[in-house]
Structure 1
């Protein structure tokens, strides 16, 4: 009887150990299943099929509207418009996931614009998608305007924006006849206030209603001028790279 009882107790102990091991394994599996996706995984999961839904939801959860673009020439502070919600949410999301910390101002057209957001040295990857255009006649390509680049009309007749490439307008003052020509060409009208800005401060009216403007520089326009003055090669790439890191300031305006 003693032998049989010992074997029984040993079997019970084995079962308890096995059950404990199983529970431990299940706990680990649950922890792994509940682990949040990495920034790379989140970026690569974004596609043309889900981008609108994803950015709409993200924008509601992240109302941020002030971003700081840091470069070796100084900081550029930009305000993002809430009534271009998809573009704002996309910019905030890429910033918070660290994607823009691997970018640079890679194209410089002095007197026109500086373009950033990408880099040949980038290690982070993202899914393939474009952002539906969000043209708004009250937002125009004045000096300091922040907008998204895109493919040309031949490949992109809907004028959808790039997923990550942005630019900031430097521009030059325009003559009134130039603005009138653009109004006629594009069947649009500038307000007196917009006309005054183009005449005195400058910008790039040729881009209006062609690319989505979704923000503007509120501090650091002199930094834009310094980047625009960088010596460039024949392809308009700065001879000395101008990396940027982007962060969101606290609060929303």
Structure 2
């Protein structure tokens, strides 16, 4: 799959407001450290890609993950029923392209509690739309996954999220025109 380079050029001031069925999460995006990931995330959020997707993976004390378009047409109960079934296709969808990894170039690639990072397959350059929020520090992920934001409000919301909870939409504050 061809690598995509987003047209959006981050300023470093962008804040993502992830609106969920459990409340809002505000994340300071790391546009200077991971410009490809932030540019891609801003573009997807702005065009409504994440609207009504569900969180499809929850590992207590590790991560809550969402952004798979294969959850769009499923209701909460269907996502819960399919979670963990490798044949259900949850966690395999993307935007139709991949982006280049930035964990090797990001000087602040630290999976702290509340970090926002991109999920990927075994190929380092396979991230697309799926993201996760860290439930506690996960330093073992620093050398293999790109962190592109840090939660600044809503840690209590993150703690409540589970499989099937809805990403109602993601708004980007301070986005360059």
TM category, shorter: 0.7 to 0.9
SS at match of 1:115: strand
Partner residue in 1 for 2:117 = 147
Structure 1 or 2: more strand by fraction: 2
Change (3 A) 1:127 1:76: closer
Aligned to 1:165: 130
1:132 aligns with 2:96: no
Q: CA deviation at 1:79?
A: 1.0
Q: Which residue of 2 aligns with 1:242?
A: 165
Corresponding residue for 2:144?
A: 210
For the Cα contact (< 8 Å) 2:60–2:135, is it kept in 1? Answer: yes
Which segments of structure 1 move beyond 3 Å, counting only runs of 4 or more?
none
- Return the alpha-carbon distance in structure 1 between the equivalents of residues 54 and 113 of structure 2: 20
Residue of structure 1 in register with 2:40 after alignment? 90
Q: Which has the larger radius of gyration?
A: 1
Does 2:15 correspond to 1:66? yes
TM-score (norm 1): 0.55
Match of 1:105 in 2: 55
RMSD: 2.3
Residues 145 and 213 of structure 1 are in contact (CA less than 8 Å); yes or no, is this contact kept in structure 2? yes
* Greater per-residue helix proportion: 1
Change (3 A) 1:220 1:106: same
